[in-house]
Structure 1
Amino acid sequence: MTPDQSPQPVSQFKSKSGFRRIISALGYSLEGFRSAWRNEHAFRQELMLVVAAAIIAFLLPVAAWERLLLIGVFVLVLVVELINSAIEAVVDRVSLERNPLSKNAKDFGSAAVLLMLLLAGATWIVILWPYFVA
Structure 2
Amino acid sequence: MENKTSRRQNPPYHLLRNASYALDGLRDILRTESSFRIEVVLFVIFQAIAIFLPVTTVAKAVLSVSLFIPLLAELANSAIERAVDLVTQEFHEMAKRAKDAGSALVFMSFVTTIVIWGWVLYVEFLA
TM bucket, shorter chain: 0.7 to 0.9
Asked whether the 8 Å contact 1:83–1:109 carries over to 2, the reply is: yes
In 1, Cα distance between the equivalents of 2:46 and 2:10?
Answer: 35
In 1, Cα distance between the equivalents of 2:33 and 2:10?
Answer: 26
Deviations 1:21-45 (A, max 9, x none): 1111110011111001011111101
Partner of 2:55: 62
Counterpart residue type for residue 24 of structure 2: E
| Number of equivalences | 122
In 2, Cα distance between the equivalents of 1:82 and 1:15?
Answer: 26
Asked whether the 8 Å contact 1:87–1:106 carries over to 2, the reply is: yes
Q: Does 1:39 align with 2:32?
A: yes
Q: Does 1:110 align with 2:103?
A: yes
Counterpart residue type for residue 99 of structure 2: K
Partner of 1:17: 12
Match of 1:28 among 7, 21, 24: 21
Q: Which moves more between the two structures, 66-75 or 124-133?
A: 124-133
Percent identical across equivalent pairs? 34
TM-score (norm 1): 0.83
Q: In the TM superposition, what is the alpha-carbon distance from 1:71 to its structure 2 partner?
A: 1.4
Gaps of 5+ in 2: none
Structure with greater helix percent:
2
Asked whether the 8 Å contact 1:15–1:24 carries over to 2, the reply is: no
Partner of 1:4: none
Q: Give the CA RMSD over aligned residues.
A: 2.1
TM-score (norm 2): 0.88
In 2, Cα distance between the equivalents of 1:16 and 1:33?
Answer: 24
Structure 1 segments, 4+ long, off by >4 Å, are: none
Gaps of 5+ in 1: 1-6
Q: Does 1:125 align with 2:126?
A: no
Structure with the bigger RCO (C-alpha within 8 Å, sep 6+) is: 2
Deviations 1:65-120 (A, max 9, x none): 21111111111210111011000000000110000000000000100110110010
Q: In the TM superposition, what is the alpha-carbon distance from 1:15 to its structure 2 partner?
A: 7.4
Partner of 2:46: 53
